[in-house]
Amino acid sequence: MQKNDKIILEITATSSEGSGIGRYEGLAVFVPQAAVGDTLKVKILKVKSNCAYGKVEQIIEPSPLRIEPDCQVFSKCGGCVYRHISYDAELQIKQQKVEDALRRIGGVDMSPQPIVSDGVCSGYRNKAQYPVAQDGSVGFFATHSHRIIPCDSCGLQPEEFSLIAKIFSFWMMTSGNKPYLEETGRGLVRHLYIRKAVATGEIMVCLVINGDRVVAADRLVQDLRAELGDSLKTVVLNVNKKKTNVILSDECKNLYGDGYIYDILCGVKIRISPLSFYQVNHDMAERLYSKAAEYAAPEGKTLLDLYCGAGTIGLSMAERAERVIGVEIIPEAIKDAEFNAAQNGIANTEFICGDAAEAAAELAKRNIKPQTVIVDPPRKGCSAELLHTIAHDFAPDTLVYVSCDPATLARDVKILNELNYEIKEYTPFDLFPRTSHVETVARLERRG
């Protein structure tokens, strides 16, 4: 097999990234936007020693799982991967993805609980980050590239985001502000960043810029207020002058409002800034946190919430717990967590800025031993050092692990098993319908 060959391929499996997999002359071939049961004519794009990559040239026999994609940029945009199959089929793929990872990598001889979904596949995202094209329009990056696919209306996002994108694009084209060009590091406006608080309806608009100010800022604010009314609570500039792929810097300037919006999650009022970590699917986050609370059984216990961010998980359990201690290495997040506790009148919380090892040493000096530890790490999972700190220094009876990557969860579960912690139950959650991502909540208990 060589590049540009055209082959007939039957799709028999789905990769963790959402591509269809078929075998040709013993070699695995990965094909985006293919479905199990398809018979396809595939053009080969790349051949490696252990696999090949191709694209669909023709659907010879469609899979029964197939549906007509409902997005004009689905074949180009790097966001969704499952708009060509039914949602039931997508949920089965994600359920199997989590189980396969835990069995293969983690050595877990146990099936997950049924995947949890509210069935809502559109309008669920409360955050959008649009790169700005050279003509002032906005869109999304193509798969595995920084080539912008024009799109000001995404089915995963609320209707207001499309309206804001159109207002912004017109302003860009008529205000004299120049779009940023990655290749040269020149230009001004890099991203349009929007957040919406689902429970309150409050909206934040943030412009990420390669400078200190924009031209005609007042006109942009006026145009947004005219269309959005009282739901527009703040417009912010995020100043990012670094030549980097990281979207946001730490510096924010308010053009309108106080730089925050407020949402309510699991009955707790949460302040959200442009820099705050906050789950993008509000309603499903409430279900996920409810399962985490069920696994934690916080009644009368001291809970340690690692990677606590703005404190959302721990604060959602504080009413039932004796005490909640949050640990986070980012100072701004700790300030948010302390503010959120205070504004909700939650007095049995404490937040420590530092890494887990530092927190362990501090709590040990005070003779504090949490009965339950909750971790909600980024996609890379927990470090081996952190897992050892949890097992040896904290030594909780129960560990609740909230994961956004089944592979790193499985890796960490295997390490924890060697540290005397056994997985008892785990549940997948679909917080990101139509994409390849899936969350999982796992409960582990200390042996003996």
Tokens representing 381 are 């999972």
**Is 404 an annotated catalytic residue?**
yes
Q: Which of 77, 121, 308, 404 is catalytic?
A: 404
**Phi-psi category of 375—alpha, beta or left, where left has phi over 0 and alpha has psi -120 to 50?**
beta
Which residues, 6+ apart, have CB-to-CB distance to 361 below 8 Å? 393
Residue 76, classified by CB atoms within 10 Å of its CB into exposed (0-12), middle (13-18) or buried (19+), is: middle
Q: Within 10 Å of residue 217's Cβ, how many Cβ atoms?
A: 18
Closest by alpha carbon to 126, among 158, 154, 167? 158
Element (H, E) at 96: helix 87-104
Q: In 3D, which of 177, 25, 430 has the Cα closest to residue 9?
A: 25
The bridge status of strand 302-306 relative to strand 372-375 is parallel
d(CA 306, CA 375) in angstroms, rounded, equals 5
8-state DSSP, 111 = P
- CA–CA dist 14, 10 (Å, integer): 12
Distance CA 89, CA 404 (A): 20
Each as own residue / partner, the long-range contacts of residues 21-26 (CB below 8 Å, 24 or more positions apart, any chain) are 24/52, 25/1
Backbone angles phi, psi at 167, to 5 degrees: -60, -45
Tell me whether residue 211 is exposed, middle or buried, using C-beta atoms within 10 angstroms of its C-beta: 0 to 12, 13 to 18, 19 or more.
Answer: middle
User: How far from 211 is each of 43, 161, 237, 248, CA to CA, in Å?
Assistant: 44, 24, 10, 13
Whether residue 102 contacts residue 110, with contact meaning beta carbons closer than 8 Å, is answered with yes
246 Rama class: left (phi>0) / alpha (psi -120 to 50) / beta: beta
Residue with tokens 């604010």: 221
**What residue type is 374 in one-letter code?**
I
- Catalytic positions: 404
